[in-house]
Amino acid sequence: QQKRYVGLRDKSATSVDGTTVSLMMNAGLMADLPSLEGSGAEGVGLFRTELQFLTRANVPKRGELAALYSRVLDAAGGKRVVFRTLDIGSDKVLPYMKPTEEPNPALGWRAIRVGLDKPGVMRMQVQALIRAAAGRDLSVMFPFIAQFDEFSEAKAIFYRELEREKRMGHRLPATVEVGAMLETPSLAFAPRQFFEEADFISIGGNDLKQFFFAADRENERVRRRYDTLNTSFLNLIDMIVHRCAEARTPLSFCGEDAGRPVEAVCFAALGMQSLSMRPASVGPVKHLIRRTDLGELREVMDAARRSGLQSVREPVMDYLFRRET
Ligand code: PEP
Ligand code: MG
């Protein structure tokens, strides 16, 4: 299957009408990094940092984490790697965290909420990232930001640690960028200043969709009910694209849907600049983007939205299929 796409590896994901989309891969382990070369991804758009915390009995040491992150950057060979700070809590309970009984864990004390309330671990992780990047580019993003001040506070913690590392005489990263994951509908409606303050924004589509439709991402029964190509969801994506464009803030999408070719071309048609997905999806997504006129697809989607359809999937599939035959 992968062999089919080998020829595309070094080609860009440029559509028939000349728009280039940046395709990145998701990772979470050192062992994922070799896929960067083979998949044809431009970099790692989402490095999930939970695994190193979940698989051991104690909090990992700063030195260990710094060594791992440094090896990840080595393996990426200068390609961009976006590290997401710890996204745990509630359902993903750390063995050394006091378990808290919560009636709705997905809506509970998780991710950045833990990071801001008990900043010790997040500060340590940020220090490890800064040390690992010494002399190289560092991209960090914070998960599950629901309102502007959570991002400002997290960013302030990052810059405080950067200052501290500087005072201590450590070599600093060559460049830093600090971004936010947009995973709750509330953030799409945040003040304009939020969009300006973020160096980049990445849509966590798995969570965004779950909270938009109020449908548990783990519950097949309700999850399948709501199509990602539902016009209401696309209206939300459209709005986020526009708000980011207004603020000139780079936007990407890193949920599972980014790796589904039909969904991916639709996002690209709405103006999504970058998509991050599992490595095996890069080839198929690139293949479809290269065969699609995104402007035409956009017209098909807009017509479907105007006509009051609930989902654009059928007309989009018709359009894409017509071109294939
Ligand atoms: C998401 O929510 O889409 C995402 C990328 O993060 P995770 O799947 O790790 O929650
Ligand atoms: Mg998420």
- Under the banding of pLDDT at 50, 70 and 90, the label for residue 109 is very high
Average pLDDT of every residue of the chain: 95
Where is pLDDT greater, at 1 or 95?
A: 95
CA distance 74 to 17: 36
Instruction: Report the separation in Å between the CA atom of 167 and the middle of ligand 1, taken as the mean of its atom positions.
Output: 35
Counted residue by residue, the chain has a size of 325
Q: Rounded to the nearest 5 degrees, what angle is found at the Cα of 181, between the Cα atoms of 235 and 61?
A: 165
Instruction: Report the separation in Å between the CA atom of 17 and the middle of ligand 2, taken as the mean of its atom positions.
Output: 32
Cβ–ligand 1 contact at 48 (below 6 Å): yes
For the segment 228-251, the average pLDDT, to the nearest whole number, is 98
CA distance 137 to 287: 30
What's the pLDDT at 92? Answer: 73
CA distance 134 to 235: 41
CA distance 78 to 30: 16
Task: Output the pTM of the full model.
Answer: 0.96
Instruction: Report the separation in Å between the CA atom of 11 and the middle of ligand 2, taken as the mean of its atom positions.
Output: 30
Which atom number of ligand 1 is nearest to the Cα of residue 207? 2
Cβ–ligand 1 contact at 255 (below 6 Å): yes
pLDDT at 323 over 60: no
What's the pLDDT at 182? Answer: 98
What's the pLDDT at 100? Answer: 74
For the segment 65-76, the average pLDDT, to the nearest whole number, is 98
Instruction: Report the separation in Å between the CA atom of 254 and the middle of ligand 2, taken as the mean of its atom positions.
Output: 9
For 112-156, how does the pLDDT look when each residue is reduced to its tens digit (9 = 90+)?
999 999 999 999 999 999 999 999 999 999 999 999 999 999 999
What's the pLDDT at 90? Answer: 63
For 159-203, how does the pLDDT look when each residue is reduced to its tens digit (9 = 90+)?
999 999 999 999 999 999 999 999 999 999 999 999 999 999 999
Cβ–ligand 1 contact at 207 (below 6 Å): yes
Alpha-helical regions (H) of the chain? 35-39, 51-54, 62-76, 112-117, 120-133, 148-167, 185-188, 192-197, 205-212, 220-223, 231-247, 261-269, 279-290, 294-306, 313-324
Mutation choice for ligand 1 from 207, 252, 281, CB with most ligand atoms inside 8 A? 207
pLDDT at 2 over 70: no
From atom 6 of ligand 1, which residue's Cα is the shortest distance away? 204
- Cβ neighbours of residue 58 under 8 Å, at least 6 residues apart? 96
- The tally of CA atoms less than 13 A away on the side-chain side of residue 59 is 13
What's the pLDDT at 325? Answer: 55
Q: Tell me how far the alpha carbon of residue 215 is from its chain's centroid.
A: 20
The proportion of the chain whose per-residue pLDDT surpasses 70, expressed as a percent, equals: 98
From atom 4 of ligand 1, which residue's Cα is the shortest distance away? 204
What's the pLDDT at 158? Answer: 98
Q: Which residue has tokens 């654009």? A: 312
The proportion of the chain whose per-residue pLDDT surpasses 90, expressed as a percent, equals: 89
What's the pLDDT at 94? Answer: 77
Q: DSSP letters along 156-198, please? A: HHHHHHHHHHHHTTPPPPSEEEEEEEE-SHHHHTS-HHHHHH-
